[in-house]
Amino acid sequence: MRKAPTILHLDMDAFYASAEQASKPSLRGKAVVVGGLGPRGVVATASYEARVFGVHSAMPMAQARRLAPNAAYLVPRFGFYKTISEQVMGLLRELSPLVEPLSLDEAFVDLEAGGAAWDEGSARLAGAKLRADIRAVTGLTGSVGLAASKMLAKIASEQAKPDGLVVIEPGTERALLGPMSVRTLPGVGPATGDHLRRAGIHTVEEIVEAGEDELVRLLGKAHGHGLYAMALARDERAVVAERETKSVSVEDTYDVDIHDRVRVGLEVQRLADRCVRRLRGAGLSGRTIVLKVRRYDFSTLTRSETLRGPTDDPAVVREAALRLLEGVDSTGGVRLLGVGVSGLADFTQEDLFAQAAGEGVEHAVEEVADEVPAEGRESVAERRWVAGHDVRHAEYGHGWVQGSGVGRVTVRFETPDSPPGRVRTFSVEDPSLESAEPLPLVEGMSDRAPR
Q: Catalytic amino acids?
A: 106
Edge-to-edge strand ranges of the sheet holding 142-147: 99-103, 106-110, 7-12, 142-147, 165-167
Q: Which residues pair with 425 in a beta bridge?
A: 410
CB 183 within 8 Å of CB 205: no
Instruction: Mark 247-280 as b/e (b = at least 16 C-beta within 10 Å).
Output: ebbbbbbbbeebeeeeebbebbbbbbbbbbbebe
Q: Which of 237, 233, 234 is nearest to 174 (CA)?
A: 233
- Strand pairing report for 106-110 and 7-12: antiparallel
Cite the beta strand spans of 236-295 per DSSP E: 247-258, 285-295
- Collapse the DSSP code of 312 into the 3-class scheme (helix H, G, I; strand E, B; otherwise coil) and give the result: coil
CB 148 within 8 Å of CB 167: no
CA gyration radius for the chain? 24
How many beta carbons lie within 10 A of that of residue 111, not counting itself? 24
CB 387 within 8 Å of CB 400: no
- Collapse the DSSP code of 256 into the 3-class scheme (helix H, G, I; strand E, B; otherwise coil) and give the result: strand
Residues 64, 65, 68, 69, Cα dihedral to 10°: 180
State residue 27 phi and psi, 5-degree precision: -100, -5
Task: Say how far apart CA 67 and CA 117 lie, in whole Å.
Answer: 44
The dihedral built from the CA positions of residue 77, 82, 83 and 89, taken in this order, carries a sign that is positive
CB under 8 Å to 49, separation ≥6 — which residues? 29, 30, 31, 32, 71
In terms of phi and psi (left: phi > 0; alpha: psi -120 to 50; beta: otherwise), the region of 201 is beta
* One-letter identity of residue 315: A
